[in-house]
């Protein structure tokens, strides 16, 4: 029997507000046991001392514990990404799956291949592995394993890989006897994201290999489909692979594009054209089930030759600047603000750009 | 002999960097005496302790003092607006004017009406007037006077009015014996911007009148063409009126639109369509001589029903959030980041939205 | 049988880290059922979007739920105060009480009167009451009730009253039909703290009455013993009264002083002299069981005539500045950084100053 | 004829406000030509995008240009240090010198040795030298040269060396072909301060040598008298040496101490005891001509075993936290807020601590 994906973007009034997910479960549309992953765009600073991520996860676990065993709750990846700068709207994205028995003998609502996904959590990393090749290899293996679990055979059918990975703290660095990639917590977030992205690139055949020294430096090595965020609350990597598979059915599809810089609206427009051919500006909005992308400040200090100030601002982290700015760009094209814009795109797309993925519903009409 | 406008967007590497203006003067394209106003988008926080504005003005005065008398320098409005959040690029906009003698008997390069402008500085306000009707009336009179100076007769031909206005400090409030609109410096910036905008609305016939109590409260009273920013460095209001007049010639034109909310990309798209009919996404970029607009967080805490967090963020001012976000939106549509996005749009367009003006060059081609 | 107070300052590695309290309970020194209140100095910004407070409370409730009924957990006031600027150290303060049966027939370890406390939670306030006299009256009644519960008869024996009170949100303001003290969330925190403090002052006979209009304005009305912090997570006021009572025994004592400005080290030194007469600089540190105080930027913009910049800094809230600065001042005198310095001292001590309370252990030696 | 030092702490209302210095000159107490150095504690963030430093220097130059030749103005070191967190007060410190002809044959007002100082500006550094040994050697030579100019023979008579040094920008790194100590602007500030401090330590015989790799890493190498701050506005190092010399006269003296951590109040108290033996808490305040020190967050994340959060706060730079906190500590001891607390103490005192110098006036009485 084919599998069927359900993807729901749901609002939150704060990191502790899981009421929309509770209502989804109460309404019967999604059973708690159907949930395969939950992403959250929470309203912290997205940097080291962003407690909205941990608060959201603790709140999600409390909610799901009323429905599932502790083991089942622990098996659900919860990838929180902090930062809703500008007009971005805090939200959850619930990924659920059910057998297509609802179709009750009728033909599938839409011809396959449809959106498919699966998630894998790697073993806990040793602090000395964070931000280095060993981390990348663990992520590579997890991507390959998740592809198999999702029924995706060809790496070209993978359209997005969301990774949540650990960071280094002073305690962790000490536990490694100082044999760590960096002694800066903030910098370790970037190296961890970068090593994860290179792992995705390995799995998808985008690069052939990399060395420890490439992480954070060889900016020409990158994945077109990796989106990685780091957090203090885990030591392994949670990997969610999304793509298209003929073993899945239903109206949902996924496509991806790579933004070449922070104002690459044409890349996003091409995605929207795929979802809703011929739709006018903001016309594809209603078809969007979820839009996920990365944003970062270009290391050159310039965008198409014009100077930006994101890297010189000691009051606001460049990741906060980049999320708000790219968020505004995409909100203008889609007419929506519940966009999963994640900061820190090391080795995720070219310098200053980043990958974007659109999950869309072929049964939804155009925005009037 | 017809007047001819020159508008040049020029980069800066910091608030003290006037080298691009110096080069413009040295190259002979613009004489120092031709300059009628200089706007600057500087890289401070745009709030109370933004010293980039004063530093830029002091630097401009030092530059121009080598060419002009002290009186001539003092007569040039210098409207600095702090805040280049996200990928926005710090820049100067030089407004100059010369008689069209260059045309040497030939027909004007483009048929009138063309871009016209003029500026007026009001008397110094008393602290008790700031943020109140008296300020609005002073601005109203200055707008009418500037229209006449610019040769614009019909208020409908005014497309943008840039106002730089004062704010209240503890010292100024004390000097007024406490009879002031607010005792908060930050709040006084908003009230001053609002009172100025209502003055513009009066001059342009958009409203019929307003009371002290309307400032900052009656959000349904607004101007579609006012853009106001407050700064500590002056006590009067500097008013620059821009519009179309048959007495001016040359290839420059101006148009305006009102964004209904922070993601009103269609409003900006309509402006770009005016400048470059049929141009594809980002195709109108090369025709842009300058793009000026306002941005603000909606007081409702929502954008099209979705919650935003700009007003609840005690780490970053909502004006910074709004500039970066709206800046990203417009950068995506134009392919440019040297955009004059100014924060704090009280009574300047509807709540959460704001006016936008496009100065474009009809002789420039489309962006390839 | 006399009551005996136990007060323990315990470290936390983050708002979710309750392990030190768990160890205290596991070690048998304090039973979960003995806990009467928990204060927490958490590492958020202490302003509107400080989620460390809610995260800490959620974590505390999860811990205590393993030991106590839901009703018992709900009855324990948990007063989280955000902000550990500078070198301040995040910590919990557990207030517990047990009958002095441990004394097993022996004479009490120290002659009464000893530290006494009790807490009361008011009814939920209506949004229209927040920041107004109605809130103050509710707090006044709670203080009087808590005095009785603590066995403190004379208001002069009350040395500190910690209040956690609600703030206004857009939703709450709407629920009140707009009849609210302010429409600014941040400002509502100050008005709520102020109204609570005036309520304490009423209960302790420090003022005779006040009107709605006095809140946030009549800065000459203040309590010498109120410490109030506002948070989004409650609608009532949690009131913890601390003082001296002959019905309590044990080695703990409490004293208070009022700082006249942000550098009133002599006021703190006098407290330390009370706890440890003749001790040298930092010598009283080991006797400190807990030190609680308020800090704020003076509204005049000056400290002893010299300008400060706390109110003009749009990058960092003045409450963050004040906590770090006053925290440094007290840390220098005590040699400790686990100080409960809380920001926003409206009507809590004179403008720019604030109350301070010292709980000390008469059986502890001096810091070597 | 003996030389006589004049040191004056003067307030500023903003970085452009040089009126107090203008008044000092106008009053005849100090002639513009007597000024040997001007230090400024300005109200920016003290980090990369702190424009208050450059604005202050531009304003000082404009003031002095009315009195002195361009060459004379250029020869005066102007060491601006950003950051007046907490209650610290923005101020100038003017160092002037005159021959003691005022003494008109009478005996010197106080017996030598008295405060002595001199300044030297090094050659411009090549970007590849910044943050490395070459910078340290240039500073070492400048210190030795300045000692000679000040008439200080014994390194033990040097009590403070204030250094202003350059930082790396993307442009400068590119000019060096990438051969730079770091590619992070913010990090380059720390390495530049550190290399300068090690240069001071070399000159004073505190260390015997150091390698490039020691800068920013070998925290056990440090100077007890170096205070270094980095800024974008210069490429050389401005070095001001202060000490005691028998060739100078007058009532001013200088002493120094090393704070072992951020709450080392006893170290400051010992300095105050030197200036005003037996004075009570805050009693020495009136004798203070200037107090200069460094502050930083300890790299261990702890102060006397208790966790601090300065290094994990992505909203506020740790240097801002440290200045406000240490500023509060010293303000409590002195009763003054016009303290020159400078952030970033790499190799300037032990980790988490820093040097402090007190210039005091032996003819002033005690604070009543």
- pLDDT, tens only, B83-114: 999 999 999 999 999 987 654 545 555 567 99
Confirm if A17 and A42 have CB atoms less than 8 A apart.
no
- pLDDT, tens only, D142-152: 999 999 999 99
- pLDDT, tens only, B280-294: 999 999 999 999 999
* pLDDT at site D110: 53
Contact residues for B235 (Cβ-Cβ < 8 A; gap 6+): B124, B125, B166
Greater pLDDT, D366 or C249: C249
* pLDDT at site B368: 63
* pLDDT at site C49: 94
* pLDDT at site B101: 63
Q: Which chain D residues are within 8 Å of B58, Cβ to Cβ?
A: 16, 55, 58-59, 62
* pLDDT at site C366: 82
Q: Exposed, middle or buried by CB within 10 Å (0-12, 13-18, 19+), for A217?
A: middle
* pLDDT at site C110: 53
Closest by CA to C45, choosing from C14, C90, C82, is: C82
Are A58 and C54 in contact (CB < 8 Å)?
A: no
Given a cut of 80, whether residue B40 has pLDDT beyond it is yes
- pLDDT, tens only, D178-200: 899 998 888 899 999 999 999 99
Q: Which chain A residues are within 8 Å of C49, Cβ to Cβ?
A: 43
Within its chain, how far is the Cα of A305 from the centroid?
Answer: 29
A221 DSSP β-pair partners: none
* Count of CB pairs separated by less than 8 Å, A with B: 169
Q: Tell whether C313 is within 8 A of chain B (Cβ).
A: yes
Q: Which of B45, B217, B315 to mutate to test the interface with C (most CBs of C within 10 A)?
A: B315
Tell me which chain B residue has its CA closest to the CA of residue C169.
B312
Confirm if C343 and C335 have CB atoms less than 8 A apart.
no
* pLDDT at site A220: 92
Query: Which residues of D are tagged catalytic?
Result: 164, 229
Given a cut of 90, whether residue B184 has pLDDT beyond it is no
Q: Is the dihedral of CA D265, D269, D270, D275 positive or negative?
A: positive
Q: Tell whether D283 is within 8 A of chain A (Cβ).
A: no
* Secondary structure (H, E, C), C20-35: HHHHHHHCCCCCHHHE
C3 DSSP β-pair partners: C99, C248
Most distant CA atoms of chain B, gap in Å: 62
Given a cut of 60, whether residue B266 has pLDDT beyond it is yes
For helices A52-65 and C52-65, the axis angle rounded to 10 degrees is: 40
Average pLDDT over residues D325-340: 98
Q: Tell whether C84 is within 8 A of chain D (Cβ).
A: yes
Average pLDDT over residues B195-221: 96
DSSP characters over C260-292:
SSTT-HHHHHHHHHHHSTT--TTTTGGGEEEEE
For D205, what's the count of Cα atoms within 13 Å in the CB-facing half-sphere?
A: 6
Q: Which chain A residues are within 8 Å of B306, Cβ to Cβ?
A: 11, 89, 336-338
First vs last Cα of chain B: how many Å apart?
A: 36
C128, C192, C224, C229: the catalytic one is: C229
- pLDDT, tens only, A334-357: 999 999 999 989 999 999 999 999
Q: Which chain C residues are within 8 Å of B301, Cβ to Cβ?
A: 170
First vs last Cα of chain D: how many Å apart?
A: 36
pLDDT band at A109 (very low <50, low <70, confident <90, very high): low
* pLDDT at site C353: 97
Q: Which chain D residues are within 8 Å of B17, Cβ to Cβ?
A: none
CA triplet C53, C58, C62: central angle to 5 degrees?
145
Place of tokens 């009478």: D106
- pLDDT, tens only, C262-315: 999 999 999 999 999 999 999 999 999 999 999 999 999 999 999 999 999 999
The distance of A335 to chain B (nearest Cα, Å) reads 6
Given a cut of 80, whether residue D100 has pLDDT beyond it is no
Average pLDDT over residues A125-149: 97
pLDDT band at C232 (very low <50, low <70, confident <90, very high): confident
First vs last Cα of chain C: how many Å apart?
A: 36
Token code pair at residue D107:
């005996």
Given a cut of 80, whether residue C154 has pLDDT beyond it is yes
- Average pLDDT over chain C, rounded to an integer: 94
Average pLDDT over residues B3-18: 97
Please confirm whether the linkage preceding D365 is cis (ω < 30° from 0): no
Average pLDDT over residues B44-60: 95
Q: Which of C284, C302, C324 to mutate to test the interface with D (most CBs of D within 10 A)?
A: C324
Q: Which of A40, A93, A332 to mutate to test the interface with B (most CBs of B within 10 A)?
A: A332
Please confirm whether the linkage preceding D113 is cis (ω < 30° from 0): yes
Given a cut of 60, whether residue C150 has pLDDT beyond it is yes
Q: Is C44 helix (H, G, I), strand (E, B) or coil?
A: coil
* pLDDT at site C102: 53
Are D54 and B55 in contact (CB < 8 Å)?
A: yes
Given a cut of 80, whether residue D112 has pLDDT beyond it is no
- pLDDT, tens only, A7-34: 999 999 999 999 999 999 999 999 999 9
DSSP class of residue C348 equals B
Given a cut of 60, whether residue A102 has pLDDT beyond it is no
Token code pair at residue A191:
């190296």
Confirm if D360 and D275 have CB atoms less than 8 A apart.
yes
Given a cut of 70, whether residue A114 has pLDDT beyond it is yes
* pLDDT at site D43: 97
Place of tokens 């009131």: C239
Nearest to C315 among B45, B301, B313 (CB): B45
* pLDDT at site B366: 82
Given a cut of 90, whether residue D108 has pLDDT beyond it is no
- pLDDT, tens only, C57-89: 999 999 999 999 999 999 999 999 999 999 999
The distance of D215 to chain C (nearest Cα, Å) reads 25
Given a cut of 80, whether residue C53 has pLDDT beyond it is yes
* pLDDT at site B109: 54
Instruction: Output the pTM of the full model.
Output: 0.96
The distance of D280 to chain A (nearest Cα, Å) reads 40
Please confirm whether the linkage preceding C309 is cis (ω < 30° from 0): no
Q: Report the distance separating Cα C248 and Cα D30, nearest Å.
A: 66
Q: Exposed, middle or buried by CB within 10 Å (0-12, 13-18, 19+), for C62?
A: middle
* pLDDT at site C107: 52
Binding partners of C (≥3 Cβ pairs within 8 A): A, B, D
Q: Tell whether C351 is within 8 A of chain B (Cβ).
A: no
Given a cut of 80, whether residue B55 has pLDDT beyond it is yes
Place of tokens 């099209």: B304
* pLDDT at site A150: 97
- pLDDT, tens only, B152-179: 999 999 999 999 999 998 889 888 888 9
Given a cut of 60, whether residue B298 has pLDDT beyond it is yes
Confirm if A227 and A258 have CB atoms less than 8 A apart.
no
Greater pLDDT, A107 or D129: D129
Confirm if D133 and D210 have CB atoms less than 8 A apart.
yes
């Amino acid at each position: 029997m084919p599998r069927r994906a359900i993807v729901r973007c749901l609002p939150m009034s704060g990191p502790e507000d899981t009421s929309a997910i509770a209502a989804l479960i109460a309404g019967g549309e999604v059973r708690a046991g159907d949930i395969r992953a939950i992403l959250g765009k929470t309203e912290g600073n997205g940097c080291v001392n962003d407690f909205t991520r941990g608060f959201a996860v603790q709140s999600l676990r409390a909610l799901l514990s009323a429905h599932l065993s502790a083991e089942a709750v622990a098996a659900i990846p919860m990838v929180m990404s902090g930062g809703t700068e500008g007009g971005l709207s805090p939200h959850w994205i619930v990924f659920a799956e059910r057998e297509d028995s609802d179709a009750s003998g009728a033909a599938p609502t839409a011809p396959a291949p449809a959106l498919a996904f699966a998630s894998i959590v790697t073993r806990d990393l040793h602090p000395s592995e964070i931000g280095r090749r060993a981390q990348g290899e663990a992520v590579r293996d997890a991507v390959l394993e998740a592809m198999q679990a999702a029924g995706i055979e060809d790496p070209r059918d993978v359209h997005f890989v969301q990774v949540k990975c650990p960071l280094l703290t002073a305690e962790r660095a000490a536990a490694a006897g100082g044999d760590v990639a960096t002694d800066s917590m903030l910098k370790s977030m970037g190296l961890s994201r970068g090593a994860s992205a290179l792992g995705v690139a390995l799995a998808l055949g985008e690069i052939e290999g990399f060395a420890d020294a490439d992480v954070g430096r060889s900016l020409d090595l990158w994945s077109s489909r990796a989106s990685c965020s780091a957090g203090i609350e885990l030591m392994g990597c949670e990997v969610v692979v999304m793509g298209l598979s003929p073993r899945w059915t239903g109206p949902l599809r996924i496509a991806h594009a790579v933004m070449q810089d922070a104002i690459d609206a044409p890349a996003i427009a091409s995605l929207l054209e795929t979802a809703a051919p011929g739709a006018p500006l903001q016309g594809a909005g209603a078809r969007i089930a979820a839009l996920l992308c990365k944003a970062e400040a270009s290391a050159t200090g310039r965008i198409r030759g014009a100077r930006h100030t994101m890297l010189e601002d000691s009051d606001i982290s460049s990741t906060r600047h980049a999320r708000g700015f790219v968020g505004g760009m995409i909100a203008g094209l889609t007419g929506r603000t519940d966009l999963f814009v994640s900061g820190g795109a090391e080795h995720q797309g070219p310098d200053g750009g980043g990958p974007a993925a659109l999950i869309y519903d072929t049964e939804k009409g155009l925005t009037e």
